[in-house]
Each structure stands twice: as structure tokens, then as C-alpha cells.
């Protein structure tokens, strides 16, 4: 059962997002411009990657990031696996989190927060257990508790469990800690990908989801 919404989660968190994201967008705009030009030169158009993702309450929004993969396809016209489309430049963007710079726009719009569970794919919604689905009780974040606890090196069950733990323990102090530890994780390039994968394997559901039964 979810805990009562505290004052910070209801009011303060959004105020902090705006207070940080607005000046950050202005200060980082020169870097974003350089990245955009480099993406255009190395990967072509479009420069931005756009995709529908579930946000607060599972409602869909358009996530915006810098593109990190090519559009290479096989003879049948299907996109090649991520590992074959992710270039060294794309890996650098992901490792440095520079691909996330446009996501500040999502924070300013109110689709996302600076800190929260990462916005995953829409097809995962039907695969969550009722407990795992609680990750949508807060806005998704650019970074989150799971990201500073192992990022893509975590197993799915562990990552989703950490997301729900964050929902229940969200506070200003925790968010500040996560932002601080995110800088460390980016500098050390920790947990960028899962073992044997260019990014993260697809979430197909879990033992926890099967044990709790289908969502209603």
C-alpha cells in the first residue's frame, strides 16, 4: 500500500525541478548546440530521438534525447540490433549522459522530474506486477535511485524494486543525494550497460509479476 503523499513530493519537488532545470538549460545550451552539430555530422538526421514513454500515472508523453544510434537495417528492412547500430560516438554520449541534455525540456514541461524512476517503454506497462507498477506514482526522472545503485548493470527485478523504494522514500535529502551520486556515476562511467548487451535487455516480465498475477 502506498504511503501518504508528503509535502515535498506534492509541492516542493516540482519547485526544485524548475529552479534547477531552467538555469541548467540556459547554462548548458552551448554544450547542447555542440552536441547537436556533432550528432548531425556523425549520425545524420534527425538529431533528436523522440519516443512515447509512460509518465506519471502511466500517462504517455514524448521523451526527447539526442540520437545515439544509426538507422542501419538488414536486407528485410528491419532495424539491426542495438549493438550494431550504437557507434563509438553514441557510446560516448550515453556514457557521459550528454544524450540526456534535451530531456531538460521534458522537466520544464512537467513530463519528468530531475530525479525519479527512469521512463521505460510503453509495452512494459502490461508486464509489471501491481507492486512494480507503483513506479508510476511519481514523475519519471533523468536520474534515479536505481541509476546510482547500478544503472543498467542491475537485473530488472532489482531495478524495479529500487524504483518502488524511491516512491515510498522520496524526499529533498534523498533527491540531493541521488543528484550528487549521479555525478560520481557519470564520471566513473558505472553501469552503462548490462552484461552481454549494448544497453539493457528487454523487460519481459518477472517472477514477481507472475506471482502477483495480472494487473486489473
pLDDT digits over 161-197, tens only? 999 999 999 999 999 999 999 988 887 766 555 454 4
How high does pLDDT run on average in the chain? 87
Residue 113 has pLDDT above 60, yes or no: yes
Residue 96 has pLDDT above 80, yes or no: yes
Residue 216 has pLDDT above 50, yes or no: no
pLDDT at 207: 58
Residue 26 has pLDDT above 70, yes or no: yes
Beta-bridge partners for 60? 54
Residue 141 has pLDDT above 80, yes or no: yes
How far is residue 206 from each of residues 122, 123, 210, measured CA to CA in Å?
A: 16, 14, 6
Q: Which residue has the cell 548546440?
A: 33
Q: How confident is the model at residue 209 (pLDDT cuts 50, 70, 90)?
A: very low
Question: C-alpha grid cell for residue 152?
Answer: 543498467
How far is residue 112 from each of residues 80, 102, 153, measured CA to CA in Å?
A: 30, 12, 23
pLDDT at 214: 47
Gap between the Cα atoms of 160 and 44, Å rounded? 34
For residue 140, the SS3 value is coil
The pair phi, psi for residue 146, each rounded to 5°, is -65, -35
Least confident of 69-78, 86-95, 126-135, 192-201: 192-201
Q: What Rg do the C-alpha atoms of the chain give, in angstroms?
A: 17
Least confident of 45-59, 105-119, 144-158: 144-158
pLDDT at 215: 46
pLDDT at 103: 97
Gap between the Cα atoms of 51 and 43, Å rounded? 18
Residue 14 has pLDDT above 60, yes or no: yes
Phi-psi region of 213 (alpha: psi -120 to 50; beta: other; left: phi over 0): left
Amino acid at each position: 500500500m502506498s504511503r501518504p503523499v508528503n509535502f515535498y513530493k506534492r509541492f516542493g519537488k516540482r519547485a526544485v525541478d524548475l529552479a534547477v532545470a531552467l538555469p541548467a538549460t540556459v547554462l548548458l545550451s552551448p554544450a547542447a548546440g555542440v552536441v547537436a552539430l556533432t550528432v548531425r555530422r556523425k549520425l545524420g538526421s534527425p538529431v533528436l530521438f523522440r519516443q512515447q514513454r509512460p509518465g506519471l500515472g502511466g500517462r504517455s508523453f514524448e521523451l526527447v534525447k539526442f540520437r545515439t544510434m544509426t538507422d542501419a537495417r538488414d536486407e528485410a528492412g528491419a532495424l539491426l540490433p542495438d549493438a550494431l547500430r550504437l557507434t563509438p560516438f553514441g557510446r560516448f554520449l550515453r556514457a557521459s549522459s550528454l544524450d540526456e541534455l534535451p530531456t531538460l525540456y521534458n522537466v520544464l514541461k512537467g513530463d519528468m522530474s530531475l530525479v525519479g524512476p527512469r521512463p521505460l517503454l510503453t509495452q512494459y506497462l502490461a508486464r509489471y506486477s501491481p507492486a512494480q507498477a507503483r513506479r508510476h506514482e511519481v514523475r519519471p526522472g533523468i536520474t534515479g535511485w536505481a541509476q546510482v545503485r547500478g544503472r543498467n548493470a542491475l537485473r530488472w527485478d532489482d531495478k524495479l524494486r529500487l524504483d518502488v523504494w524511491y516512491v515510498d522514500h522520496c524526499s529533498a535529502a534523498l533527491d540531493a543525494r541521488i543528484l550528487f551520486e549521479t555525478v560520481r556515476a557519470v564520471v566513473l562511467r558505472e553501469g552503462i550497460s548490462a552484461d552481454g548487451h549494448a544497453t539493457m535487455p528487454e523487460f519481459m516480465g518477472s517472477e514477481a509479476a507472475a506471482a502477483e498475477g495480472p494487473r486489473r
